Amino acid sequence: MLKKVAAALLGTSLLFGGITMTNSKETDAKVNYDLKGKVKNIIFMVPDGFSASYATNYRWYKGQEAAWDSMLVGMMRTYSANSEVTDSAAAGTAMATGYKTNNGVISMTPDGKSLKTLLEGAQEVGKATGLVATSTITHATPAVFSSHVASRASEADIAIQMLDHNVDVMLGGGKNNFITKAQGGKQETRDLLAEAKRAGYTIAEDANSLKEAKGEKVLGLFAPEGMAPELDRDETGQPSLADMTKTALNKLKKDKDGFFLMVEGSQIDWAGHAHDAAWAMKDAEAFEQAVKEVIRFAEKDGQTVVVVAGDHDTGGMSVGGYGQYDAKLEVLRNVTATGDFMVKQFNLDKTNIKEIVKTYTQIDLSDQEVEKIKAAGSKASIVLNEIISEKALVGWTSTQHTGVDVPLYAFGPKSDLFRGLKENIELPIIMGRLIGVNLR
């Protein structure tokens, strides 16, 4: 039924399995907005693909509480306008605009109307803005805050809109999308990097140039496509997510009117798609380091609201499994490369599989496991990842997203407004009103 009445989400309620799914207008009415007090800055942190299972496994992996555990205020529903299971475009649109849309759509309604975003609203009230991600900066989650396209695949057009929106700080991968491209499918081309320089952006291409970046506007493009996974980042000159977050904070805090910043830990999701539990945990660790940078800033500032929420679950990760009442996340602490990286080290006849896996995981594969990897062909990395996951007793149910509710965390003044079981469309409405922005 949900798929048949997607467009009605903008104007009426949805009946879904006997439960009334709230729409945007009802969300406005039911939230008690206590706006007494001062909020200057909003920092929205999105660990893409992160659910309660990731949070629990990460706690065991780390061996102690995570930085966000004390910030837990509730849970969040994630479904899109046309599916019980959302993609990042529809989930991001909901969290950027306060409206549900169809999977694949970037900050537009299902019938093609552009939706005002929280970032655009922040600009209207004079605030500086920033976007940070470890995917391409034109990927779905950062894209929803500063562009409006019918398909998330239109990353070249998204890059154009991001520059046209004059976002002050943009840091991530995706340099290829800013090199001379055809605009809107036409023959006309635009050199977006040259345009960015003329618009006053400092261009950063690695960790060193990011540290040295002068001026208040920075465009950091640290990889042709997505950035390296945290497990493999030492092989590159790329900055960490915490490095990028710290730079963004240092630039944006100079605006006397405050700022809006979105930080995405993009590759937790990519790890879930690949069933790479070690990659997921290491990128969760990298995301936690960025959260710590933000909390240090917010504690000192006293006028900053921090909201942390994954956009959906990826992979259907379990805590324990395989018929055992146990979890062995310590196995993943010894893994020093992604499955993708390890498979690329296999020789042509695949006679070195045991040696490579032992080097990067300290795991001794059985002959049967080696043969299983050999027989997997193009799916060798996911088979390897599942073997490692099984040894850590981390299960998977899908290579795609799932529709489970996700944890919601908040810190700072008015963080109590985020308590309870929220619709994802509620978050931008609340954050917007705290800084004087009405997305309606």
Q: How far apart are CA 65 and CA 27, in angstroms?
A: 33
d(CA 328, CA 334): 12
Phi, psi dihedral angles at 334 (to 5 degrees): -90, -5
Catalytic residue among 88, 146, 381, 389: 88
Cβ-in-10-Å burial (0-12, 13-18, 19+) of 176 comes to middle
DSSP for 25-49 reads HHHHHHS-----S---EEEEEEETT
Please choose, from the candidates 311, 273, 308, 265, the residue with its C-alpha nearest in 3D space to the C-alpha of residue 78. Answer: 311
398 is catalytic: no
Pairing of strands 218-221, 202-204: parallel
Q: How far apart, in whole angstroms, are the C-alpha atoms of residue 84 and residue 14?
A: 12
Q: What CA–CA distance (Å, rounded) separates 238 from 333?
A: 22
59 CB neighbour count, 10 Å cutoff? 16
Sign of the Cα pseudo-torsion (282, 286, 288, 289, in order): positive
User: What secondary structure does DSSP assign to 87-111, as a single string?
Assistant: -HHHHHHHHHHS----TT-BSB-TT
The SS3 call for residue 435 is coil
CB count in 10 Å sphere of residue 392: 24
26-31 own/partner pairs: CB under 8 Å, 24+ apart: 27/98, 27/423, 27/425, 27/426, 27/429, 28/429, 28/440, 31/417, 31/426, 31/429, 31/430
Specify the residue for token string 């635009």: 190
DSSP assigned state of 168: S
Closest alpha carbon to 94 in 260, 312, 266: 312
Three-state SS at 393: coil
What is the β-pairing status of strands 218-221 and 19-21?
unpaired
- Distance separating alpha carbons of residues 52 and 407, to the nearest angstrom: 6
- Could you tell me the two tokens for 382? 């996911």
Which residues belong to the active site? 88
